[in-house]
A and B are shown apart, each in its own frame.
Chain A
Amino acid sequence: MKKTFITAAALSLLIAALAACSKTPPAAATASTETPAVAAANPNDKELPPAPSPARSVAIPKPVEKTLDNGLRVIVVQHGGTPLVTAELNLLSGSEVDPPSLSGLAGFTANLLTQGTKTRSAPQIAQASEALGASLTAAADWDASRIGITVTTPKTGEALDLLADVVRNPTFAKAEVERQRSQALDGLSVQLQQPRSLASLVATRLLFGTSPYGHSRLGTPASLKQIHSADLVKLHETYYRPDNAVLVFSGDIDGDTAFALAEKVFGSWAKPNYPVPPRPTIDEASAASGAVRVVAIDLPGAGQAAVVAVHRLPPRKADDYYAGVITNAVLGGGYSARLNSEIRIKRGLSYGAGSRFQALRDAGVLLAFAQTKNQSAPEVADLIRAEITKLSSESVPLPELAARKASLIGGFSRGLQTTSGIAEQLGELITQGIDLDAINHTIANAEAVTPAQVQAYAAAHLNVNDVDIVIVGDAKQFSEALGKTYPDLQLIPATSLDLDDALPAATPAPTAARAP
């Protein structure tokens, strides 16, 4: 297909980032599409496309909320149309709480929730959820662990019983821990031979070093071997508690019904008498290395190279968050954004290039990416850097800005059309600590960003000489050319890469790095 990767990957990420505004009420905002992009490029001798009629407004869902006595927040968005209900428990702690030597612990813990409770074995849990027509998912992300299920309306009660059981009563049995360990190790071995996923792992390590957000959420070959049942029990006791969780319902269910269900299955979930531990702090020192770091990982025989460029950005709560969202939209958010235009459309160098702005609770990340034939990797890296440079050196033309905003807002609105999409957008806001009312202002806030704000944002937060680049591929086909542009290139064979080591970040930043 034509654009799968962009739509599937970049756009949805972007939307997630945008949705990251907060949450509650009002009713309707207008997706204004004042850009008559239609008439854009037509000489006089051509027939013009018919102009649009007036736009209808987009309905924004209206959440209702209640907090149980034990501190569990319950949020409900009734959404008609289809007899489906999504229920998702958002735990406000994710992989950032992994101890330094136990990368992947939060993810391991979440995975094991569904592998046995005091009253159900792992096969019984799978059987129970799938008999409801659903799959019960549990996973850890940065800032959040999420346990969710989507079922047809009549199954809601049974689904919630099951969800509460795995959250409250997991046993972390030794046999299941061992089974999970070998599956996680095998799964990781596959990820580590995919150019794109390996490049992202290394880039994250470069960006955050050994501080929280820097390690592999999937664990590493060494860390996975060191995780014991006691570690899982401890993480669960520490963080899985009602006053550190938010339950979201969306779909064919009203507030009173949902609140009653929540009370029934979570009302007796006791809150410990000690506070939730403070969040780990992010190492700000590594935020600006003051130099371009370039790392090439050699994967001999790789059929393509993955090129990833990363830069730190302010966290979700920053005042200029929406300027960041729009800046990313211009750079790489969508098929027609600059990276895909330059790399794919103009030059045929990739099936898809783009960028995402991951606005986390305590830090933000800009990640630009493309896969290309091995020989083209240096050219693609140059193109990415050139586009990042342009964001601060030139003002974005108004028609381009309007188009990128419309694309972003359209994606945001489409995301609100399904029960799982609504739950996802609310979940993002909740776990990033943003008031849910933000969901009502997302469209207006995105619309309000000016070219000057984009340029100022890029100037303040996006220094091309702080960009780190990671290329994973068959290095003999590109390392020589890459070394000419970046004399301080670090070339590491994939087989000797140690993901537990802060090696890439610990290496002194080269001082002679060159701008493009």
Chain B
Amino acid sequence: MQRHFLAAALIALTAAPVFAAPADAALTIPPLAYKETRLPNGLQVLSIEDHASPTVAVQVWYHVGSKDDPAQRSGFAHLFEHLMFKSTKNLAAEQFDRLTEDVGGSNNASTGDDVTNYFEVIPSNYLQTLLWAEAERLKNLTVDEPNFKSERAVVEEEFRQRILAPPYGRLEYALQKNAYAVHPYKRPTIGSIEDLEAASLDDVIAFHSTYYRPDNATLIVVGDFEPAQLAQWVDLYFGKIAKPDAAIPRVDAIEPPRSEDRRITEQAPNVPLPALGMTWLAPPAKSPDAAALRVAAAILAGGDSSRLHQALVYRQQVAQEVSFEFSDNADVGLITATAVLASGRKLGDAEKAVLAEIQRLQKTPISDAELDKAKTQLLTQALVQRETNEGKAFELGSAVILTGEPANADKALAALQAVTAADVQRVIKEYVSDRHRVTVEYRAAAAAGAKK
């Protein structure tokens, strides 16, 4: 499924920012010099010309994600993503792989709460071919029953591989399911086996016609191309696709603030060490507080020198692994802390230790050096991300989906740089300390030989 992958990618991308390492005026990150156009049918087109390597990244980001799964069809947006690699009017099933992998390129796709994106890196002489092919599956998808059933079985294996087989797969699943009261973000992107089994070919057709339309898509091209030629091809292949009259349905659920703390117990087989997860609701990605939350997360859990790692893993040895993340969504976000215990330790000790570090961050001074360290880490991640054409395209796409504006990819870097210690303390108080949390206690099921 994509949550992992997308979660990882988006966090890396959007959390990356900072123009210059604070203590280091010598280093700057060049802005993403993109061009933006919009076709009359509503397709948004972003491009960055760069001839450093003879490759080009082509991506289409559809503004539809698992939050748009139909009722009783959790996991559907993701299942649909898989079906986009099957047949179209003019393409055989898997022919996308012939046009990418078989000529020295690569392709993949992912689904998240807010987005479904399709991405390729190809030798640049195949750019025209790929633009044709992306337009083809936007307008001419023709999935048949055997392909549908076979790919649904693959997605069910994906569910088992991500959720059931790894010792901590069900923890993450439980955290998302219990994070939101009303918002469809509460449905894990991978869905459930039952809902996947209930899906039909009719659902596929309806979903495609509802959401896969030019005015619900952003095309991103980064790399080795000539701008005039690109514009001509985009117009030729995408320009003729009609924009439907119907409005695009949008999720309008409003997640209420939590009114109380909740505690959930989850058990699973083959869990060698108990684990703990906690969530808090967070502001959306476009909030002015997002930058301070990214810095706060880096101070708490960015690397071995971070506060939670030093306290829980190094000094107290109560946990063998700890995390604290801000997931920025287009709508209400989420802050998640997890700890996998060290053997012989108790969940309550880890919980206390995490909460103590959160309180210390809020209440005691943060040194300039620590603030600089967090920003430098985030800056360096941004630079690493921007080494490749694909990485640059991901930055633009994430900014569009999460905040509506590609320019925010660079603005987020500047915002990070401006974060002060007081900002960090304020957002930790406002979104964590003063808010209710949902706690998941995760243990081995008794049959599999439980430990405490």
Q: Which residues of A contact B224 (CB under 8 A)?
A: 56
- Say whether B387 contacts A82, CB under 8 Å: yes
A82 touches B157 (CB 8 A): no
Q: With an 8 A cutoff between CB atoms, is B32 at the interface?
A: no
Which 5 A-B pairs have CB atoms at the shortest separation, nearest pair first? A303-B164, A301-B269, A410-B104, A348-B153, A133-B380
CB of A137 to closest CB in B, whole Å? 11
- Residues of chain B with a CB closer than 8 A to A352's CB: 161
Bound: A130/B302 CA distance, A: 9
- Please state if A186 and B302 are interface contacts (CB–CB under 8 Å): no
A409 to chain B, nearest CB (A): 6
B54 (CB) vs chain A CBs: closest residue: A56
If A1-B5, A127-B305, A189-B343 touch, whether A304 touches B103 (CB-CB below 8 Å) is no
Given contacts A303-B165, A348-B150, A414-B121, contact A84 B387 (CB under 8 A): yes
Question: CB distance A132 to B303 under 8 Å?
Answer: no
Shortest Cβ gap from A193 to chain B (Å) = 4
Contact B99 A195 (CB under 8 A): no
Q: With an 8 A cutoff between CB atoms, is A277 at the interface? A: no
Which residues of the partner chain A approach B309 to less than 8 Å between Cβ atoms? 126
- Interface code B161-199, partner A: CB below 8 Å = 1, 0 otherwise? 101111101000000000000000000000000000000
B106→A403 contact, CB < 8 A: no
With A37-B99, A336-B97 in contact, do A346 and B150 touch (Cβ < 8 Å)?
yes
Is A4's CB under 8 angstroms from B98's CB?
Answer: no
Residues A345 and B102 in contact, CB atoms below 8 Å apart: no
Of the A-B pairs whose beta carbons lie under 8 Å apart in the complex, a sample of 6, sorted by A's number, is A33-B104, A56-B124, A127-B373, A150-B384, A300-B448, A419-B387
Q: In the bound complex, how far is the Cα of B88 from the Cα of A473, in angstroms?
A: 38
Say which size band chain B's interface belongs to: 35 or more
Q: Is the CB of B54 within 8 A of A152?
A: no
**Given the complex, which residues of A lie within 8 Å of B132, measured CB to CB?**
49-50
Known A-B contacts: A345-B150, A410-B103. Give 5 more (CB < 8 A). Answer: A2-B108, A84-B387, A336-B97, A348-B157, A350-B157
A5, A57, A80, A186 pick with most chain B CB within 10 angstroms: A186
Q: Mark A193-211, 1 if CB is under 8 A from B, else 0.
A: 1111000000000000000
Once the chains bind, are B54 and A192 in contact (CB under 8 Å)?
Answer: no
Contact of A126 among B111, B303, B372 (CB under 8 A): B303
A-chain residues with CB within 8 Å of residue B383 when the two chains form the complex: 82-84, 152
Residues of A within 8 A of B156 (CB): 373
Query: Which of B2, B125, B149, B317 touches A1 (beta carbons < 8 Å)?
Result: B2
State A349–B157 Cα separation when bound (angstroms). Answer: 7
Inter-chain contact A302/B165, CB cutoff 8 Å: yes
Residue of A35, A133, A193 touching B167 (CB-CB under 8 A)? A193
Please state if A192 and B272 are interface contacts (CB–CB under 8 Å): yes
- In the complex, the number of residue pairs spanning A and B with C-beta atoms less than 8 Å apart equals 280
Most buried by A among B5, B95, B304, B320: B304
Q: How far is the CB of A96 from chain B (nearest CB, A)?
A: 27
Q: Is there a chain B Cβ closer than 8 Å to A187's Cβ? A: yes
Interface size counted on chain A using CB atoms at 8 A: 99
B106 in complex: contacting residue of A38, A52, A186, A414, CB < 8 Å: A414
Q: Is B153 touching A349 in the complex (CB atoms < 8 A)?
A: yes
Interface residues of A (CB under 8 A from B): 1-5, 7, 11, 31, 33, 35, 37-38, 40-42, 46-59, 80-84, 122-123, 126-127, 129-135, 150-154, 179, 182-183, 185-187, 189-190, 192-196, 299-304, 306, 334-336, 344-352, 371-373, 402-403, 406-407, 409-411, 413-414, 417-420, 495
Bound form: Cα–Cα A150–B402 in Å: 29
Interface residues of B in 345-363 (CB under 8 A from A): none
A345 to B154, CA, bound (A): 8
Q: Assess the B104–A301 pair: CB atoms within 8 A.
A: no
Please state if B102 and A52 are interface contacts (CB–CB under 8 Å). no
| B203 CB within 8 Å of chain A | no
Contacts A33-B103, A348-B150; A304 near B123 (Cβ below 8 A)? no
Query: Is B72 an interface residue, CB under 8 A from the partner?
Result: no
Q: Which single residue of chain A is at the shortest CB-CB distance from B163?
A: A303
Contact A131 B372 (CB under 8 A): yes
Contact in complex: B388, A373 (CB < 8 Å): no
- Known contacts A153-B27, A417-B387; is-contact A81 B52 (Cβ 8 Å): yes
B92 contact set on A, CB distance < 8 A: 41-42
B379 to chain A, nearest CB (A): 6
Q: How far does the alpha carbon of A31 sit from the alpha carbon of B154 in the complex, in Å?
A: 33
Question: B365 near A: Cβ within 8 Å?
Answer: no
| A47 CA / B81 CA spacing, docked (Å) | 23
The answer to whether A55 and B125 have CB atoms under 8 Å apart is yes
